[in-house]
Amino acid sequence: MTVQLTNMQTRDVEALLHPYTNAVTHRAQGAHVIERGEGVYIYDNTGKRFIEGMAGLWCCGLGFNNAELVEVAKAQLDKLPYYHLFAGRSFEPAIELAEKIKDLAPGMSRVFYQSSGSEANETQIKLAWYYNNALGRPDKKKIISRVKGYHGVSIVSASLTGLPYNHKSFDLPVDRIHHTATPHHFRGAHAGETELEFSKRLATELEQMIEAEGPDTIAAFIAEPVMGAGGVIVPPEGYFEAIMPVLNRYDILCIADEVICGFGRTGEWFGHQRLNMQPTSISMAKQLTSGYAPLSAVAINAEMADVIENHSGEIGIFGHGFTYGGHPMGCAVGSAALDIYMREDIPAKVRAIEPHFRNHLMTHKDHPLVGEARQIGLLGALELTPGGNAMFSQPGKVGAHLATRLVEHGVILRAAGDSLVFCPPMTITEGELDELFAPIGACLDATLHWARAEGHLG
């Protein structure tokens, strides 16, 4: 349906190419223009208020108008608006933030900065290759990711991502990247298979892949503790406990992509701590600055750091880095954000409100359109199905319709395929959670009626 676009919407479609958007549909319908934010709410340019159930893109953990972060950004711009870390230069905000990251991530020894999660995961793979070259293992370069994993959109990080729309027409994935199974018990378990049995089978399948490819060719395994954009897929019981011995047996690096799960989101400082993953390196972004400035970081353990630093001495330079990696304002805001997370004990706050969040999700688990409700910390999802664990004949359409219905009711959530996913600011109150979930039941009913009328239920 074509609508009459406003002046701003017309300017938008004539000037911008939007990420993750159907450009043809967008040109017909126009942009939803957002003007300001306040706490867990955003307001569009008509003044309508929406509760932001996704913290933007999984990132505004402290909400949308934290005055302390704004003032820190202003002060840093007044003092040193830009500098870099190339050729041994440094500045206090970069050092201070790295020290705080190390304090929160035991076992990590060095921090390397970028601007985005994609750049962080791209860096991870380059470091794994550099590390193995330094150790005289030039063939140990393949990376194992997972189907439905999300690790970014640059060439290698998009190859790590295990979602079709990140590969189609981009000539991806590139060589050296392989994908093992999604740890989603609801979709992937055999009949009667318990979560522990499913986890053991996935570990066996991973080991079989390693053996088939050749253990001496596998550099690293990368995983989100909880899959985010793939649908907030919480791993089954015993998953990482089964996976870690396989990686250790074949001397394979374990990369934790904490871009979504980090800094309290799961009720621990990092998702790998809650789920018993034991990483050799960690990617982080998004909530690192609560989304207030573009910044990402990679933290590596001491053994990896020693090898990489010594090899740079042999070569003469460590030839990797980004113009805005460790930007002074980003580091200052990140350092302040971590101060707030620690001062307010955000992981404890998440654990305290988690039962209320879970109860709301589980209220809808028996709806005819819902196959599964899943949750950990302040991450959750309602998996939509035509019945049981079946898939819709046109995947994604029902989820998108439900998300659109919710916007009409003042709630912004996201459909990851046919999973309605939740990631509210970590400052959300029980009353605001009640408001977030208030229209869910009615919108599920309306979507069920629409799906039947459109023939999506078979």
CATH of the domain at 116: 3.40.640.10
Beta-bridge mates of residue 143: 177, 220
Distance CA 77, CA 341 (A): 23
- Record the tokens describing residue 430, joined without a space: 């029980």
Task: Give yes or no for residue 458 having a pLDDT over 80.
Answer: no
Mean pLDDT for the stretch of residues 406-425: 98
- 176 and 131 assigned to the same domain: yes
Residue in the structure block whose two tokens are 């440094």: 90
Let me know if residue 289 belongs to a domain: yes
Query: pLDDT (tens digit, 9 = 90+) per residue, 135-152?
Result: 999 999 999 999 999 999
Let me know if residue 11 belongs to a domain: no
Let me know if residue 26 belongs to a domain: no
Q: What angle do CA 224, 227, 33 make, to 5 degrees?
A: 115
Tell me the CA distances in angstroms from 422 to 78, 265, 417, one per residue in order.
37, 12, 13
Query: pLDDT (tens digit, 9 = 90+) per residue, 81-97?
Result: 999 999 999 999 999 99
Distance CA 105, CA 301 (A): 10
Please say whether the beta carbons of 145 and 177 come within 8 A: yes
- 383 and 439 assigned to the same domain: yes
> What value does the mean pLDDT of the chain take?
97
- 364 and 326 assigned to the same domain: no
- pLDDT above 70 covers a percentage of the chain that reads 100
Q: Phi/psi of residue 269, each to 5°?
A: -60, -40
Range of the domain at 240: 68-343
Mean pLDDT for the stretch of residues 289-318: 98
- Record the tokens describing residue 380, joined without a space: 């959750």
Task: Give yes or no for residue 1 having a pLDDT over 90.
Answer: no
- 255 and 292 assigned to the same domain: yes
CATH of the domain at 374: 3.90.1150.10
Distance CA 370, CA 362 (A): 10
Residue type (1 letter), 255: I
Q: Phi/psi of residue 284, each to 5°?
A: -145, 150
Which of 295, 312, 343 is the C-terminal boundary of a domain?
343
- Provide the pLDDT confidence category of residue 393 given band limits of 50, 70 and 90: very high
Sheet holding 281-284, edge to edge: 108-114, 296-301, 281-284, 253-257, 218-223, 142-146, 177-180
Nearest to 330 by CA among 81, 86, 159: 81
Task: Give yes or no for residue 434 having a pLDDT over 90.
Answer: yes
Q: What is the pLDDT of residue 258?
A: 98
- Record the tokens describing residue 40, joined without a space: 């867990």
- 418 and 394 assigned to the same domain: yes
Which of 297, 324, 343 is the C-terminal boundary of a domain?
343
Let me know if residue 294 belongs to a domain: yes
Distance CA 185, CA 170 (A): 30
- 112 and 193 assigned to the same domain: yes
Distance CA 433, CA 379 (A): 13
The CA-based dihedral angle spanning residues 100, 106, 108, 110, taken in that order and rounded to the nearest 10 degrees: 20
Query: pLDDT (tens digit, 9 = 90+) per residue, 226-269?
Result: 999 999 999 999 999 999 999 999 999 999 999 999 999 999 99
Tell me the CA distances in angstroms from 406 to 231, 236, 347, 452, 456, one per residue in order.
18, 29, 28, 19, 19
- Record the tokens describing residue 408, joined without a space: 């009409």
Which of 305, 326, 343 is the C-terminal boundary of a domain?
343
- 208 and 315 assigned to the same domain: yes
- 153 and 169 assigned to the same domain: yes
CB atoms within 10 A of CB 39: 18
Q: Which helix (H) or strand (E) holds 438?
A: none
- Provide the pLDDT confidence category of residue 359 given band limits of 50, 70 and 90: very high
Tell me the CA distances in angstroms from 235 to 85, 156, 243, 420, 437, one per residue in order.
38, 24, 11, 17, 24
Residue in the structure block whose two tokens are 């799960």: 261
Q: What is the pLDDT of residue 358?
A: 98
Task: Give yes or no for residue 2 having a pLDDT over 80.
Answer: no
Let me know if residue 440 belongs to a domain: yes
- 37 and 106 assigned to the same domain: no
Q: Which helix (H) or strand (E) holds 285?
A: none
Beta-bridge mates of residue 300: 110, 281
CA 193 and chain centroid, separation: 28
Please say whether the beta carbons of 299 and 284 come within 8 A: yes
Task: Give yes or no for residue 26 having a pLDDT over 80.
Answer: yes
Tell me the CA distances in angstroms from 27 to 168, 174, 184, one per residue in order.
22, 32, 36
Continuous H helices in 17-139:
23-29, 55-58, 67-79, 92-104, 117-134
Nearest to 122 by CA among 292, 322, 345: 322
Mean pLDDT for the stretch of residues 433-457: 97
Q: Phi/psi of residue 195, each to 5°?
A: -60, -40
- 105 and 195 assigned to the same domain: yes
Let me know if residue 165 belongs to a domain: yes
- 145 and 278 assigned to the same domain: yes
- 206 and 324 assigned to the same domain: yes
- Record the tokens describing residue 32, joined without a space: 């939803």
For the chain, what is the domain count?
Answer: 2
Beta-bridge mates of residue 113: 297
Beta-bridge mates of residue 34: 44
13 HSE (CA, 13 A, CB side)? 17
Tell me the CA distances in angstroms from 410 to 48, 404, 451, one per residue in order.
8, 10, 22
Nearest to 60 by CA among 228, 353, 260: 260
Task: Give yes or no for residue 173 having a pLDDT over 80.
Answer: yes
Mean pLDDT for the stretch of residues 310-338: 97
Distance CA 9, CA 23 (A): 13
